[in-house]
Structure 1
């Protein structure tokens, strides 16, 4: 039995300064899926993620989450509905400690609890070791785990991951991919992944949308992800 659609867009147009980047974009993601969005640089992948969370307002079209049109809602309302966003570049609060960063994410669901803290530490043990350390003194990979943990603490139904491998050592990329797949299998959380790292895409994604010039031009199944020539053609800068 196919699961219910958790998020879809219809004719989504969005951009900056009155100029659309997304050109009537349409996607459909079902509960529990891990779906990658790939394409060359500048095709609108990050604009899509920012539109889904509410940082870039739509010019036209709709965004539907669990059957409710959300395109008019601000980002904090979407977060409260169950959408978590891990931005490109991580954007942790560098002067706050790891624990304080996690507490910021927990505020969406009423505050940090001991059980919530334990769940995050079990997923990313390094965060427990560095709990009182300022986030800005951590490595890029550790900050990425913190950025994901800050989202996970609010127990989202959908996680938007924007370029999680950027600036991170390959072994840490592999760890993050493994942890996210394990979380998906354990909790059923849905994940939309924007990524250029082919190894991470293959490690995580169950299928893949290909973007060109602000539109979806292909929907690749799992078997297509193993066609290296095809994937590199779509990912070429």
Structure 2
């Protein structure tokens, strides 16, 4: 009898969890079903062309150099967003970064900013205008397990920063920033200390890798496309 009660309880819990998950799944599938690839392209194209003919200035929402142990941060500075994707030097990509079946649009201008767009409720929304670095261009990775994407940036020759983001209901949230800095050679044996930062605060190797292993270890690289290409 006790075994039967436990089994019934487990079934009820499973059904409850399933009932809670299905509406969210149906919402994502419904949005994707309404938008064909051609429709998605048209929505993005119309928005991008509109901002060329009617320039739109927006504040930088995040700086890839911030929270890395260095005092760089242009967050809040206003820029013309069409300049990000109009240059011959611009790079872009379309990739679904939140598993809703609709690709996001990303573009960046070397030594400038990155623009991240999504389509939510059949409208193009600006998720973020992000300041990049003057070094190597940013790389974008997607983690299917956590449904997050990471933008990595080389701050300088010794510092790499990894900003983890998540998209939910038409908004983008920063989950964490992981940065590591390789120090100067300390002795004749060539020892170089590595300083690790989590959200701008120096942390232990153990705490750093707790986040790194969760969000960055199994992420997949997404290739940029050049405007000139």
- Taking structure 2 as the reference length, the TM-score comes to 0.25
Which structure carries more relative contact order (alpha carbon 8 Å, separation 6+)? Answer: 1
**Greater C-alpha radius of gyration:** 2
More helix by share: 1
More strand by share: 2
